Amino acid sequence: MSKHSQSEKERVIIFDTTLRDGEQSPGATMSLSEKIEIAILLDEMGVDVIEAGFPIASEGDFRAVSEISNLVNEATVCGLARSSLEDIDRAAEALRQARSKRIHTFISTSPLHMEFKLQMKPDDVIEAIERSVARACKYTDDVQWSPEDGTRTEHDFLCRAVETAIKAGATTINIPDTVGYTAPEESAGIIRMLKKRVPAIDRVVISTHCHNDLGMAVANSLAAVSAGARQIECTINGLGERAGNAALEEVVMAMRVRSDIMPYRTGIDTTRILQASRLVSSATGFPVQYNKAIVGKNAFAHEAGIHQDGMLKHSETYEIMRPEDVGIAQSNLVLGKHSGRAALRVKLEQLGYSVGDNRLKVIFARFKNLADKKKEVFDDDLIALMQTTPRDSDDEFMQIKYLRVVCGSESPQEADIVLVAGGEELRASSTGDGPVDAAFNAINSLFDHSAKLELYQVQAVTEGTDAQATVSVRLEENGKIVVGQSSDTDTVFASAKAYVSALNNLIHRRKKSAPAAASAG
């Protein structure tokens, strides 16, 4: 098939829900400043619709949607709402300052959800759809409606529900694969079925929202587009509940690279993709897996001899896209202990990070400390620094001032620690089954909590005995899951800092109230 010209390609709307569905990932809570920074970048890179949050879920969500509405210049800002009128009114209030606003309302439609979750009869669900969409239309002419668990909904009822939403005024109909159950051909078949059976569906935009429980979210989304959907709901890095959502970077680059068989285009500036990936990873504390498509560390790495030989002769032998297409700069700039702040800023920008003066000051101090320990600071070292440096010092209730451990083949291992908490110095000593356990026990003796350690993971950032270790810690307390990360050439110290980081995030989560919690995808 010959390549299509840009004018022949059909436009696909990119609806990013990183700040809503993405934040529902256990432990992925973001601060207001982080949400604003991400929203501004999404706007700048050409995302069409930014789902900024679920306004009635908490005061924090309401404020985030409100602040983002006031700052975004080009994208449509969207707020999520259940079918209750109170939800919709709250979303409308949060979106009041938006230049372009959308209310996204939803209700479950599968037999399983209607019987056990909603405990509603089908006719009552239809009435709720009509009532909620009509209410949303009083606030904006851009209303999106979703049948939660749409891919497991009986087709006759799905058609009836979609037709009801359109008659009530919905302008976008989103079909969520809420539990990641469907497969590509079935995903496309549902869209074709709706286009064939629902009157006036040609007057609305059909959207797809796919979860990745079976690893098919991107494939299912693209299949839906091939059948007539013209909006994809997705997240940066595929962030989202359980196994996540369709990854924005993957659906966008798939349509760009394979435009010969997928003649579609988006408004995304793909050179900002790596920057967005790094920003979201840093804000959430969720590392990007090395072999992640498009943005993973190994996405453009070649180790096998036959691959390297081919690459040296012609890059297209093993690369189907250029690294610079997604914002990966090729640079030989080497940093060491004599490097200055300006060189560090340039290097960080090449790696996809944009930092303000205040944060650069903090990063530079940590960089200098690292450079004193290592002869050469590699790109991966800088990435680890960015991902493990708190973005907002106000979120750091506790900090480690001093740590000393005694370890070896003879037990017990010992740890002495000095924490600064709320401006007060706290000291403790403890023993444990290894130096890390001793350090954690010492911290626990100073900070009372009931959190359970669910994950402790250590990963070397680079090669060599002077390599930094990046440590990830996940804690769970009363259903709240938080993640902490830190890095250091001293693995035990990195572990203690990661544990304290997780506890700081736990304190932050305790302060957040969540009177309502639900999802639409």
- Tell me which residues of the chain have a pLDDT lower than 50: 1-7, 302-312, 314, 331-332, 513-518
- What is the per-residue pLDDT for 311? 41
Q: How many CB atoms lie within 10 A of CB 63?
A: 15
- What is the per-residue pLDDT for 261? 95
Q: How many CB atoms lie within 10 A of CB 185?
A: 11
pTM for the model: 0.80
Alpha helices in 389-490 (DSSP H): 435-446
Q: Which residue type sits at 349?
A: E
User: Collapsing DSSP states into helix, strand and coil, what is residue 383?
Assistant: helix
Q: How far apart are CA 105 and CA 112, in angstroms?
A: 20
Question: What digits encode the pLDDT tens for the residues 153-176?
Answer: 999 999 999 999 999 999 999 999
- The upper half-sphere exposure of residue 304, i.e. CA atoms within 13 Å in the direction of its Cβ, equals 5
Contact 294, 247 (CB under 8 A): yes
User: Collapsing DSSP states into helix, strand and coil, what is residue 58?
Assistant: coil
Q: How far apart are CA 415 and CA 49, in angstroms?
A: 50
- What is the per-residue pLDDT for 334? 61
- What is the per-residue pLDDT for 512? 61
- Please classify residue 118 by burial: count the beta carbons closer than 10 Å to its beta carbon, then call 0-12 exposed, 13-18 middle and 19+ buried: middle
